């Protein structure tokens, strides 16, 4: 049971109540195996509406439990509950659960660990131990951002498993320490749960090999975003930083590392380009080779006049010049019952069951070019191409990787560049597509795909559960 409660928490020498699940920050880890059916009863004991999204879970024919408020469900109101019921069909690896309303996911999030079926081994050497590493940011000031019409203040700190590490003006702040043993191999399940930042992850003096991203096995490594499992072979001594060897002498100095600059576009681009699917007999890359829908989405941010904002203008974001307006009733519910008049400015793209889609996502540079980590609910997709600058429909498809492209549910569109993905619409329902930077979602960089029913009950959305929350 997930009890949503307020918990007084001290960080950076400041104590305040935060919204948590079961009083934990980060929240509890959900453990299961591939093809397990999972029941999670969420009970809301705070004065906010809440919902939980199971980020990356395919939700095959279980769209009622996907979680984004006003997309697949109305939120769970105070002192109400909702039983989420879904299956990890054909998935194994690391995913994330988080609140999916307002910016509550800043503190209301946790890991999902899907183990292989019993008797099935990893397609890489078995690690000696496994650890979860959750990267976060703090101090999300959404109300201030809405009132001013501009971006929120920068986070006060980034944290690892809830701890920021020592800071100059707060001597009591602790650091997360990963205790390891020499010559052991560790599987690190790394999750980026930050609201508005894409983050680098490094360990001084160690090489990392990425073996899985977004609950799909990979053949080689490299960039951390947003869900990656990485194997660390521990064979050197370090000091007392975030990674500490057992039996290390306490006076050995800490070995520091340096992350790349925030504008290291070429570095992150090359890292992401290195990722490949296994494309083996056991784990084939089923890339659609023929396409029914060829789409181009232009995404970016801009400025609109705002009479109620303190500076007379506000930031907006859009997909192909359309800023998404949140409906008053969940889109999935409106679709199922044929309810009209609940959406104003909402944009939904309709797909026939089992149709194939190629989507090119083009980041623009009209106002503030930046990277956009875009997330598609309800599907995994294959990243068949990426590039910097403007997409060329005549030349760029010639370079698409249709053999072993990386399989993802979230992919970064490079700064002022483009990303091309392909997927098969084999999951009936309404599926959110958005930038996973929470500020851009708030500004309207989002839309939804509506996948129609196929033939028969196995290709159709079942009726909603009796406890589906009401708006």
User: What are the residue ranges spanned by the domains of the chain?
Assistant: 1-118, 124-277, 293-459
Task: Quote the tokens at residue 33.
Answer: 């195996």
The CA distance from 83 to 469, in Å, is 10
For CA atoms 331, 465, 433, 260, give the dihedral sign: positive
Residue 356 has a CB neighbour count (10 Å cut-off) of: 19
Per-residue pLDDT at 12: 74
Residue pair 78/51 in contact (Cβ under 8 Å)? The answer is no
Question: Between β-strands 381-388 and 348-351, what pairing exists: parallel, antiparallel or unpaired?
Answer: unpaired
293-459 matches 124-277 in CATH topology:
yes
List, edge to edge, every strand of the sheet that includes 129-137.
158-160, 129-137, 185-192, 227-233, 208-213, 216-217
The CA distance from 134 to 115, in Å, is 18
For CA atoms 313, 150, 443, 373, give the dihedral sign: positive
Residues 6 or more apart in contact with residue 176 via CB below 8 angstroms: 159, 160, 161, 162, 163, 165, 242
Determine phi and psi for 439, rounding to 5 degrees.
-65, -35
Residue pair 223/270 in contact (Cβ under 8 Å)? The answer is no
Query: Which CATH superfamily, name and number, covers 293-459?
Result: Cupredoxins -  blue copper proteins (2.60.40.420)
The CA distance from 352 to 371, in Å, is 31
Residue 415 has a CB neighbour count (10 Å cut-off) of: 18
The CA distance from 75 to 468, in Å, is 9
Query: DSSP characters for 239-301?
Result: -SSSEEETT--TTSPPPP--PPPTT-HHHHHHHHHT--B---SSS------S-SEEEEEEEEE
Least Cα distance to 300 among 388, 153, 150, 417 occurs for 417
Q: Coil, helix or strand for 179? A: strand
pLDDT in tens, the chain (471 residues): 999 999 998 877 788 899 999 999 999 999 999 999 999 999 999 999 999 999 999 999 999 999 999 999 999 999 999 999 999 999 999 999 999 998 999 999 999 999 999 999 999 989 999 999 998 876 555 666 666 667 776 666 788 888 877 767 776 667 788 888 888 899 999 999 988 888 888 888 888 888 999 988 865 333 333 455 555 444 432 223 357 778 777 767 777 777 777 778 788 888 888 899 999 999 999 999 999 999 999 999 988 888 888 778 888 899 999 999 889 899 999 999 998 866 666 679 999 999 999 999 999 877 767 889 999 999 999 999 999 999 999 999 999 999 999 999 999 998 889 999 999 999 999 999 999 999 899 899 999 999 999 999 999 999 999 999 998
| Topology adopted by domain 124-277 | Immunoglobulin-like (2.60.40)
Per-residue pLDDT at 387: 94
Query: Which CATH superfamily, name and number, covers 1-118?
Result: Cupredoxins -  blue copper proteins (2.60.40.420)
The CA distance from 382 to 285, in Å, is 8
What's this model's pTM, rounded to 2 decimal places? 0.92
Residue 418's DSSP bridge partners are 362, 387
């Amino acid at each position: 049971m997930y009890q949503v409660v307020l918990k007084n928490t001290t960080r950076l020498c400041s104590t305040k109540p935060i919204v948590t699940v079961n009083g934990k920050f980060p929240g509890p880890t959900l453990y299961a195996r591939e093809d397990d059916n999972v029941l999670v009863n969420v009970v809301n004991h705070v004065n906010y509406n809440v919902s939980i999204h199971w980020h990356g879970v395919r939700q095959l024919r279980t769209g009622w439990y996907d979680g984004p408020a006003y997309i697949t469900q109305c939120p769970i109101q105070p002192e109400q509950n909702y039983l989420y019921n879904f299956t990890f069909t054909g998935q194994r690896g690391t995913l994330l659960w988080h609140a999916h309303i307002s910016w509550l996911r800043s503190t209301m999030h946790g890991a999902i660990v899907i183990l292989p079926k019993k008797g099935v081994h990893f397609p890489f050497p078995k690690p000696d131990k496994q650890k979860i590493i959750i990267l976060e940011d703090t101090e999300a000031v959404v109300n201030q951002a809405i009132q001013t019409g501009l971006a929120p203040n920068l986070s006060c700190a980034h944290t690892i498993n809830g701890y920021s590490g020592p800071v100059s003006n707060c001597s009591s702040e602790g650091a997360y320490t990963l205790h390891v043993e020499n010559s052991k191999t560790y599987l690190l399940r790394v999750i980026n749960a930050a609201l508005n930042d894409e983050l680098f992850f490094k360990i001084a003096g160690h090489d990392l090999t990425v073996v899985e991203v977004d609950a799909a096995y990979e053949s080689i490594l490299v960039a951390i975003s947003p869900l990656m499992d990485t194997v660390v072979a521990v064979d050197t001594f370090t000091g007392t930083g975030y990674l500490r060897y057992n039996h290390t002498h306490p006076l050995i100095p800490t070995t520091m590392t340096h992350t790349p600059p925030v504008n290291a576009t070429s570095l992150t681009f090359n890292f992401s380009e290195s990722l490949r699917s296994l494309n083996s007999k056991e784990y084939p890359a089923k890339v659609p080779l023929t396409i029914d829908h060829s789409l181009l989405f232009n995404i970016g941010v801009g400025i609109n006049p705002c009479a109620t904002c303190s500076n007379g203008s506000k930031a907006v974001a859009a997909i192909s010049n359309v800023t998404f307006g949140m409906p008053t009733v969940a889109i999935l519910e409106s679709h199922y019952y044929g309810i009209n008049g609940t959406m104003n400015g909402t944009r939904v793209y309709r797909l026939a069951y089992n149709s194939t889609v190629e989507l090119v996502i083009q980041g623009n540079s009209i106002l503030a070019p930046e990277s956009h980590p875009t997330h598609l609910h309800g599907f995994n997709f294959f990243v068949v191409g990426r590039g910097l600058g403007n997409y060329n429909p005549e030349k760029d498809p010639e370079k698409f990787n249709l053999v072993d492209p990386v399989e993802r549910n979230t992919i970064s569109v490079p700064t002022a560049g483009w990303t091309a993905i392909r997927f098969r619409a084999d999951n009936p329902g309404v599926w959110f597509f958005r930038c996973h930077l929470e500020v851009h979602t708030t500004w309207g960089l989002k839309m939804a795909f509506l996948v129609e029913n196929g033939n028969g009950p196995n290709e159709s959305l079942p009726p909603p559960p009796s406890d589906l929350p009401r708006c």
